[in-house]
Copies of this chain bind each other. A is one copy, B any other.
């Protein structure tokens, strides 16, 4: 990975994660509102509330869930499980419960991971009314009493689904969408890393003049995407490229999951970026599982949305456990991820198609002073910049955008963009579309 720098440090990205980590988020409820309020300190997010019971395509916005406390106590009063120690302890969306339970009756409500006896699993039950506790397998095995005091002080009542949206208008209405889920409680790589990267990306882009418009969604997974898509059908056609942001703080190299079509602008953009990054990476084909790319790529929507992560969805051991914590994500990895998203936005924003104004033969470059203007740090760099110039001239026949030129030339987009700008200044190229 090139040692390009953004104006935001990995530490800033990490600090935001640290603030959001303790909050008990879910697909609805005050945990989401509290998280979005913190995020508004960085970027003026618009907060939307959609009432429980609202029909959104085949779904219905569920009742709102809130939780205050939960525990399992021995009869002697000793707390074995305490929600205040980890919000993962409660099966997310648990209905309230309060009373004495025999271990036999309690057992079907307890979830652990036998293979990882010290980790607490993360489990949910959004659409089936249930209650339960998640705990380490070693604790589960130590529970030998006949009876326990059980309490979940939660409510599941009509309310609303809350999400954040940030729209940044550019010169054109064509927009690029970045979306991340905000519904996981204390999980760092899964959800918080994506939130942090997307939020700082929004902040940086808001300080620039952009050609494209940008839209950022901070939404609960699945139901949030379906809700937004259902309420915003009129916005679909503007979305020219999109990316789901998640799993962006762990040490793995990047994984790009393609759109359903596999050959969209976002596919070419991310793959070009990864190819030029000099680091290892994986590109995987679309499959209808994972994060919200599932919804955006459904057959009646078909929006060109890929997904950029480090580890793959569901493929790292800490996934959906208490080990996906502040130790798993690293400031330098977060920063690298933000830079990747910035580079991708930069390619999309600058992917202009030019027309060579001297298309018959090569123009006489010396005459136009181009050898000087193109410059170069050293002989090798100079040569590469000259090749970039020749590629821009040769392929600017209206059929190739700068990204296609960069890709065919195997020259990083950034250099192609700089050289094209010089050629435009000099009058040799003229933008066909902006």
Contacts and interface: CB of A to CB of B under 8 A. Distances in A.
B298 A361 contact: yes
A288 B229 contact: no
A58 interface: yes
Nearest to A397: B299
Nearest to A226: B361
Copies in the complex: 3
B394 A58 contact: no
A172 to B, nearest CB: 26
Given A260-B394, A356-B300, A390-B289, A361 B295 contact: yes
Nearest to A409: B287
B394 A301 contact: no
14 contacts: A57-B358, A57-B361, A58-B363, A127-B367, A229-B361, A230-B361, A288-B390, A288-B391, A295-B361, A298-B361, A298-B394, A299-B395, A300-B361, A300-B397
A89 interface: no
A144 interface: no
A302 B397 CA distance: 10
A128 B369 CA distance: 12
B396 A299 contact: yes
Contacts of A246: none
A394 B230 CA distance: 17
A316 interface: no
A301 B260 contact: no
B58 A289 contact: no
Contacts of A128: 366
Contact of A57 (B226, B300, B360, B391): B360
Interface residues of A, number: 41
Interface of A: 57-59, 127-128, 222, 225-226, 229-230, 260, 287-289, 294-295, 297-302, 356, 358-364, 366-367, 387, 390-391, 393-397, 409
A364 B59 contact: yes
Nearest to A295: B361
A260 B396 CA distance: 12
A421 B87 CA distance: 42
Contacts of A395: 299
Given A297-B394, A298-B361, A299-B393, 16 more contacts: A58-B361, A58-B364, A226-B361, A229-B360, A230-B360, A287-B387, A287-B391, A289-B387, A298-B360, A298-B362, A298-B393, A299-B356, A299-B359, A300-B359, A300-B360, A301-B360
Nearest to A223: B364
Contacts of A298: 359-362, 393-394
A362 B291 CA distance: 12
Nearest to A294: B362
Contacts of A397: 299-300, 302
> Which 8 interchain pairs have the tightest Cβ spacing?
A300-B359, A299-B397, A288-B394, A300-B360, A288-B390, A58-B363, A226-B361, A299-B359
Contacts of A360: 57-58, 229-230, 298, 300-301
Contacts of A358: 57-58, 300
A359 B58 CA distance: 9
A361 B194 CA distance: 22
A288 B391 CA distance: 6
Contacts of A391: 287-288
Residue among A59, A229, A387, A391 facing the most chain B CB atoms (10 A cut-off): A59
Nearest to A301: B360
A186 to B, nearest CB: 26
Nearest to A233: B360
B300 A362 contact: no
Contact of A366 (B127, B226, B356, B366): B127
Contacts of A222: 362
